[in-house]
Each structure stands twice: as structure tokens, then as C-alpha cells.
Amino acid sequence: MWLIVCLLLAPPASGSTALTGLQGDFHSPGYPQGYPDDLHLTWEIQLPPGYGVELRFAHVDIEPSQGCAYDHLQILTEEALSPPICGSSRKGHRYFPYPLVYRTPRRWMRVSFTSDFSNSRRYTGFSASYTAVDIDECAESSSCSHFCNNYIGGYFCSCRPRYHLLEDGARCGVNCSGQVFTRFKGEFASPNYPLPYAENSHCHYRIQIEPGFEVILRFEGDFHVEGDPLIGCRTDVLKIKSGRKEYGPFCGDQAPSLPDQLENTVDITFQTDGTGEQGGWQIKYHSTAKQCPLDVVEQGIISPQRDEYDYRDTVQLHCERGYEILDLVRGSHPASALLLCQRDGTWNASSVACVPVDCGEPRRLRHGTAAFSATLFRNRVKYSCEEPYYALEGAEEFECSDSAEWVAVESGEATMPKCTPVCGACHVLSGTGRIFGGSLARPGQIPWQVRLRLPSMAGGGALLSDGWVLTAAHVVETALRPLIIAGVTNLRTAGREERQELEAEKVFLHPGYRKQVLGYPNYDNDVALVKLKRRAKLGPTVAPLCLPGPGEIEAPSVGTLGLIAGWGRTENNSRRSYDLLSARIPVVDMDLCRRGDYAGQAPVFTENMVCAGLPGTDSCQGDSGGAYVFLGSGGRCVARGIVSFGPLQCGSYGVYTQLGKYADWMRDVMAENGQWEDDE
């Protein structure tokens, strides 16, 4: 039980004590009976501002060791940390080489005491006292720019006559702000000019005259402001501000030059630091009526044109080429606007602007696109068509002109382009086959082929564009508006293909066509064009043939192979085919067709006809009007014949209208009648 009590009464092994009075004393635990083992104690002295600390040791008796490694004292200040202290102060300086008095001009000090595990000889420890010592801030270091006044516990700054103490309580300056000059002319200078100006000053001067007038400001006399303008005026600085513009900073020995005219309100600020003495500066100013700028409105033109425009002058505003006036209030576009030079040196032009003319949205192309980002002056539009079925005819790129019209970039013409069908996509002339005994055509293989459904018969035809069908005159001579089916190969499964039913608007028979001549069948000029009521939609299974070109006017040479196709009668001569059949047959001598059996009704043969076929490969009833197709220049499929007539028995040779003879007539008919109600 006695052991427990002793432990509870033992001093703490470590701890810190705060000392805040202006004086006091402290000692090691147990002093003077001997200090305990395993101590680590600190005393922190904290004084009010304006005081330093003086620490005195009355007695030191601490176990000595090499380098005071066992038990020791140590003093820490803001300036330094003392070496460890041990030994006995009673032995004199020879055996106790440590001072007994420690001072710091700061208001803080820390004393640390450490003992190890064995104070076997019962060293008594230490006894110390401290006191607050007044610091002479003025003697040590003072931030006062003029006078420093010390008192116990602190100091204060004061200034020379005509100066006042600034808000920081240390620097002195002069009162040189708040002066406003409202007269049309005047002068002012830096404080004490031409004597050296005051340090640590911030001066502000303002010139403020009637609106509508401008200030003309000049430096007079000597100009001396501390600083080097080459490195940015880092000490004393002079600045001038007029409206939104700021001039400066200025310093050095050279008076700065300013614009001829400033706003009616000018602010001058002059700021100095705490060093250097310079002579300063002087300013004189006068005023003049405010002038309006020569540039009134962007892209605007004013008249009359003069070198200067003064307060109350008026001008007439027009716009540059490609721009027009916009009244921002009314939203109108007047031809001109009357503007007034106002007293603040601006034109009353805030309600008008010159805006680019607007060409409006460019015309959209059927089966094409118009790529553009804006419709204003100088903006461009680029046209393209749905490839590969349509091609652009005309200029590709147009620009919005100053007349608010889209014109071609290269030619300057306003003629819009159009997307025209691409003819002659050819995929079949490298194969072989027959109609009468022919081979099946695959979807899209013969995309120009159409079927004409008439009240008493059926025939074939070919697309020449998205709005015209080529056929034989004898097929449509009695049908004003035949129904035309495109995009199919099998008539029974047409619903599963890209079937298009095309309604005829008008039939054009060749004017030279006559059904009979002197009682004999006549197939001369057996060619007709059918205009569609609405254009066909071109695609993989619906595409036109090409008309004969300049080098294809004459009939194909004997032996040249061409392609025929249709849904006519087949080899058994009993029914028409539901499948589209095709065959390649050569051009042969006309005598082979003349020798055919026409049941005593020998038709008329003319130079407008071509004979073609092979034994066992021929067109037949129901194929009439279909195209006889040849490979043309550039790999195009060209319609150079029409299935017209043949001998009574199919399967040998047939007669075809020679289309080269009618190319001009067909082009003229399509050009004169090539308008549709739904054209854009």
C-alpha cells in the first residue's frame, strides 16, 4: 500500500508549463532536495508585445556528463538554441562554463529540463527567475518613414509638418487627392513642384468639363519622376486615364506625349514610394469641341465625306456592296439613314446596322442536296446529286451575290443546276442468252426495261430518263394513257420486288408513222415516246438507257451483237413469259428479214429499219416496243433499236426501228415537253 501512495505522489515524468506574467520564477521538481529520474519538462515564457525576456539562474546543480548527455538544461529563443547545460554553478567558471543570464529581444523563450534514469547522488536541480525588459523599437529597427517615438511596451510613428500619417501607421504622405478641374482650361502640378515631391503619396486629380468637348493635355516645364521607363516604372508612377483608355505608367526624365484629344473626363494618378527625391511635373490643359469618328458603322459609307466631323454635324448613311441598312427598332431596310454627331463624340447609329444581304435558302434539287451553312452575302452552297443514279448538270458551287441572288462561282450566272438521270448502266452485254428460248434476267440486270399494259395487248419499252419511256408507235397508237410497270423481272412476284406503277400523261407518236401504206402493213417510223405523269424514282432496279450519240446515228454494222429483252411469247409459241428474258443477237443483212413469211402481207422495208436475230433466238409477240441495246462509248448501254415486227413464225429474224435516225426528234420532244407539276 505504501508503494502505491508513493507512485501517486511522484512528479510527472513530462509536461509543459506556461509563464505569462511580466516576471516570475520556477525551478526543477523537488528543488532543493534533488530532482527525480526520467524527466522531460518545459517552461514557455510568453510576454505581451513590446517586451523582451531576461532569464537568470540563481542556482544550477545538474549531474555532469560528457556533452551533458545524461541530465541537462537547454534554452530556446527565436534567435538560437543554447547548448545543453549541466554541472554545478557553485564551482565557478572553470568548471561551469555556461552563462547564468540569457536575454532575447523577442517576447518568447522556452526552457527545457531533461533527466535520465539515475540521479544517484541526488543533484538538487536548478532555480531560475525571469523578467520582462522593455525593447527600444526605434533604436533597433523602425518602419516609420519620418519620426519614431518609443514608450514602455511599444512605439508610434509621427510625421513632419504638412504631412499626415497614412493608414498603415508607419508611412507619411501628403493629401493631394480630391481636386476636380471643371474650367475649360487650367493647370496643376505634383506636390511642391518644382521642389521635390513628397514620398509615400497617392495623388488623384480629375479634369471634368462639359460633355461634347474634348481635353487637350500637355506637360510643361521640367519632368522628373523617379524610375526607369525601360524596366516598367517600378518606384514612382504617373498614370492618365481617359474614358476606357489608360496611358502610362510614366517615369524618368522625359515628358510623355499624349493623344491630341482626350475624353471630357480625364483622371491623373501619381503614386510615390518612400525613397528618392525628384522635381515632379506640371500639366496644362485646354478644351475643344468633341469630334466624331470617320468610321460610323461597319460596312457603312457616309456622305458628305470630310476630314473631320464635329458636334451636331449630320451625314447620310449607305452600305457597302453586298450589305443593306437594317433598322434595329422597326426591323425594316431603309435605303439610307440620317445620322447626327452627338456631344459625346459618337454618332446616333445604335439603332441601325449594315447587315449582309440575304439570298434566302438556295433552291433544293430533285434527287440532290444543297450543302450550306448560311444564306448571307458571300456565303456559298455546294450542290450534289444522288449517285450513281443522278449526275449534276450545271455549276456545282454558287455564292450569295450582292444582288441577293445565288450565282455560279465561276461564271456569275444565276442558272441553277439540276440532277439529271445517269443513263446506260450496263451489266449484261458480256453475257449470252435468248428471249425466244432466252435466259432469265436477274433483278437490276436490265433496269431500263418496262412493261406496257394496254386494253387489248401488252408490250415492252425502255426508260430514257426518269420521266420518259421509249416504245414502238404501233404498241401505243390506240392507247392514250397506258399503265407502265418498272423495276420488276417476274410479273407474278412483282410485289416482292421494287415495283413502280407509272401512269402515262401523254403519248407522242412519230409524225411520219402510218399504220398502212397502199393496204400493206407499214412499220416505217415505228417509234413513240411516252411522257410520265410523275417521274420514276431511279435506283438499282430502275435506271434509263442512253440515246444514240453523235457517233451512233448510223445503223450498227452487220455482225454487231446487241441485247433484247421482254416478257413476250417463248419457244412453245403458246404463252407469254412471266419472267423477263434476255438474249444477245447480231445485226444481219436485211434480205434475211425480207425473205421471211408474212402470210401474204409483205410489209414495207425502209432504211429506217435494222434486221437482227439468230435461228432459235428472236423476239416475239409481246416483246414489241422493247429496246435493242448496244454497248456504246464509255461502256454505256445505248438504245439503238426498237422491237418492231417480224415474220409470222418467231425464232429466226426480226425487224427493229433504227433509232439513230430519230435521235434528234426524241431529244426535241423531251426538251419541249420536259416539265412536270411537281418540279421544284
Active-site residue numbers? 474, 526, 624
Q: Could you give the CA distance from residue 80 to residue 74 in angstroms, rounded to a whole number? A: 11
DSSP classification of residue 12:
P
Q: Which residues contact 146 (CB under 8 A, 6 or more apart)?
A: 157, 158, 159, 160, 163, 172
Instruction: Report how far residue 108's alpha carbon sits from residue 509's, in angstroms, rounded to the nearest whole number.
Output: 122
Which among 527, 522, 487, 525 has a CA at the least distance from the CA of 507?
527
Buried-exposed string 324-358: b where 16+ CB fall within 10 A, e elsewhere? bbbeeeeeeeeeebebebbeebebebeebbbbbbe
First to last CA, the chain: 117
Omega prior to 540 cis, within 30 of 0: no
Is residue 568 within 8 Å of residue 461, measured between CB atoms? Answer: no
Q: Which residue has the cell 526520467?
A: 38
| Cβ pair 518, 503 in contact under 8 A | no
Rounded to the nearest 10°, the torsion over CA 7, 12, 13, 15 is: 170
Tally Cβ neighbours within 10 Å of residue 203: 22
**C-alpha torsion angle, residues 646, 648, 650, 656 (rounded to 10):** 0
Contact 84, 64 (CB under 8 A): no
Measured at the CA of 655, the angle between CA 545 and CA 479, to 5 degrees, comes to: 65
Structural Rg of the chain based on CA atoms: 57
* φ/ψ of residue 126, rounded to 5: -150, 160
Cβ neighbours around 625 below 10 Å, total:
31
Closest CA to 215 of 296, 286, 291, 117: 286
Characterise 510 by phi-psi region: left (phi > 0), alpha (psi -120 to 50), beta (else).
beta
List the beta bridge partners of residue 213. 289
- Residue 281 one-letter amino acid: W
Question: Residue 72 and residue 356: Cα distance in Å, rounded?
Answer: 92
Closest CA to 193 of 203, 184, 181: 203
The DSSP string of 519-577 is: TEE--TT--EEEEESS----BTTB-PPBPP-GGG-SPPPTT-EEEEEES-B-TTSSSB-
Q: How many degrees, rounded to 5, is the angle at CA 252 between CA 247 and CA 256?
A: 40
Peptide bond into 603 cis (omega under 30): no
Q: Which of 476, 470, 434 is nearest to 455 (CA)?
A: 476
